[in-house]
Chain A
Amino acid sequence: MTEATAGLVVIGGSHAGHQIAIAARNAGYEKPVTILSDEDTAPYQRPPLSKAYLLGKVDAEALLFRPVAYYEGQGIDLRLGAPAISIDRPGKTVTTAAGEAIPYEKLALATGARVREIPIPGADLPGVHYIRTLADIDGVAAELDRVETVLVVGGGFIGLEAAAALRVLGKKVLVVEALDRLMARGVGQTISDYFADYHRAQGVDLRLSTGVQALTGGERLSGARLGDGSEVQAELAIIGIGVLPNEELASAAGLDCDNGVLVDQFGTTSDPDIFAAGDCTRFVHPFTGEPVRLESVQNASDQARTVGAAIAGKPSAYDAAPWFWSDQFDLKLQMVGLTQGHDREVLIGSQAENAFSVFYFGGETWLGADSVNRAGDHMAARRLYQQRYPLTEAELRENADNLKGLVKALRKG
């Protein structure tokens, strides 16, 4: 019996996982490539789940990154419903749930993140949902017909996107957020306040600084008891209180982990033959010098390309500006930079016209910007940020109506 040629094995078949495989091939990697995915669906887009997909604007087929045949054509063995359960580093094999040991020359972890579960009574009642996978959102959609009121626990991006979509679908929506403002981890006070006002104006019952003591009901969810002791009615709940990195497989294999699989600028873990990319990783960010774990399409895609290139023997250090987006009602929120720790917000544009941007500064350092329906500002900010342009508050105010001009001047040098 001849042993199978050891090639690249990718654990995880989502944004980062499929992109690592494709990037490695594009960079010239010729050995076998296998993707082990624990999901039953070929790699698909997650962002639309809580937006266009929930609204019924796109169907499941339209979420696929590529048709299944594409992977075959690229010589990528895409295995669905095939979770990896252990890594044998000395033997260089990965064992699947079905008991197969697959040899690897290079291994890439793209295990992503999983939802943080809410540790309160009633959390396991039918009618309580989380949003991460296609199956999750199909579960929500299947129940909507008999739902009058939806309780959203957590005023972060995922919760607010779901709240907006469900409001558009005509549901009564109650959002509770434990902190005193929305999306606190991602945006500053001005954006938080603006979105709180906007959601309320659209009829969302938004309660800040409010937790949930218990989810209540008999055979199914029928309501909740909030932190202040008040009782509310809800036939469906969506819990959006953050995610945890799937690092257990790496950790059990002895790889360095600390709130994420630790990787360097090439996506290499503490084992030089094992790489990782996407939501499961934590790394020193090239733009801040600080360790960070990013949950974003941008990071998953860019880090996956970095890993794919390194595996193909063409390493190039990760140096991508972080960007994010969120669609809520008719608002497009576009973000660039890592703005936590800012001490100053500078607003340009007009909140009254629902088109403005907030630029963040920490001391004299420009940290990034959030834009609402101001795509021009966002793209200019993205280019300036990528170039590490030392934007000052005075320069920003002077050029508030023509940030593009700054970019052009920068390009001319």
Chain B
Amino acid sequence: MPKIIFNHPDGTSETVEAKAGTSVMLAALTSGVDGIEAECGGSCMCATCHVYIDEAWLDRLPKVQILEDEMLDDTAAERASNSRLSCQIEMTEDLDGLIVTLPDMQI
């Protein structure tokens, strides 16, 4: 199963395995990774599953769609050029080793 490395704002990091086909958001929640709220459950309605993508991986992800783009303007931590909503990134074998950094707040 593809792996995702989550870097926390305090400098620690953890690696989790994700089933291909599930979102980065879901992989974090089901593995007990703290720092993602996802209160709308992946409906792209709440902007509380915000992550920063490691620059090396940014271009390998599916493009930001309009709904996600609008929601990203409403994140609690500041939006950066590598900001994404983790509910919109589906894990594939090609994304094995994906590195994401969690923001210091989601609400």
Contacts and interface: CB of A to CB of B under 8 A. Distances in A.
Contacts of A45: 41
A56 interface: no
Contacts of A323: 45
Contacts of A285: none
Nearest to B66: A375
A43 B33 CA distance: 17
A114 B39 CA distance: 21
A28 to B, nearest CB: 15
A378 B69 CA distance: 12
Contacts of B22: 62
Interface stretch (A63-71, A165-173, A208-216): A63-71
B40 A305 contact: no
Interface residues of A, number: 29
Contact of B43 (A63, A67, A70, A327): A327
Given A67-B32, A382-B74, A47 B67 contact: no
Contacts of B20: none
A100 interface: no
A327 B40 CA distance: 12
Contact of A325 (B29, B30, B32, B45): B45
A404 B70 CA distance: 10
A301 B66 contact: no
A37 interface: no
Contact of A48 (B31, B41, B67, B73): B41
Contacts of B43: 47-48, 325, 327
A48 B29 CA distance: 16
B29 A47 contact: no
Interface in B50-84: 66-67, 70-71, 73-74
A47 B40 contact: yes
Contacts of B29: 64-67
Contacts of B67: 332, 375
Interface string A366-381: 0000000001101100
Interface in A276-327: 297, 301, 305, 323, 325, 327
Contacts of A47: 40-41, 43
B32 A61 contact: no
Contact of A378 (B26, B39, B70): B70
Contacts of B26: 62
B107 interface: yes
Contact of B40 (A19, A63, A297, A378): A297
Nearest to A22: B37
A383 interface: yes
A246 B84 CA distance: 38
Nearest to A334: B45
Nearest to B67: A375
| Most interface-central of B32, B42, B45 (chain A CB within 10 A) | B45
A66 B39 CA distance: 11
A73 interface: yes
Nearest to B30: A67
Contacts of A73: 32
Interface string A68-86: 0110010000000000000
Nearest to A63: B41
B70 A375 contact: yes
A375 B71 contact: yes
Contacts of B66: 375-376
Contacts of A19: 39
A325 B40 contact: yes
Contact of B73 (A69, A305, A325, A379): A379
A62 B30 contact: yes
A341 to B, nearest CB: 25
Contacts of B41: 45, 47-48, 63, 297
7 contacts: A19-B39, A62-B30, A64-B29, A297-B39, A325-B43, A327-B43, A383-B74
Given A47-B40, A297-B39, A375-B71, 18 more contacts: A19-B39, A47-B41, A48-B42, A62-B22, A62-B30, A67-B31, A301-B39, A323-B45, A325-B43, A327-B43, A375-B44, A375-B67, A375-B70, A376-B66, A378-B70, A379-B73, A383-B74, A404-B73
Interface of B: 22, 26, 29-32, 39-45, 66-67, 70-71, 73-74, 107
Kindly list the 7 A-B residue pairs having the minimum CB-CB distance in the complex, ordered from nearest: A45-B41, A375-B67, A375-B70, A379-B70, A301-B39, A70-B32, A376-B70
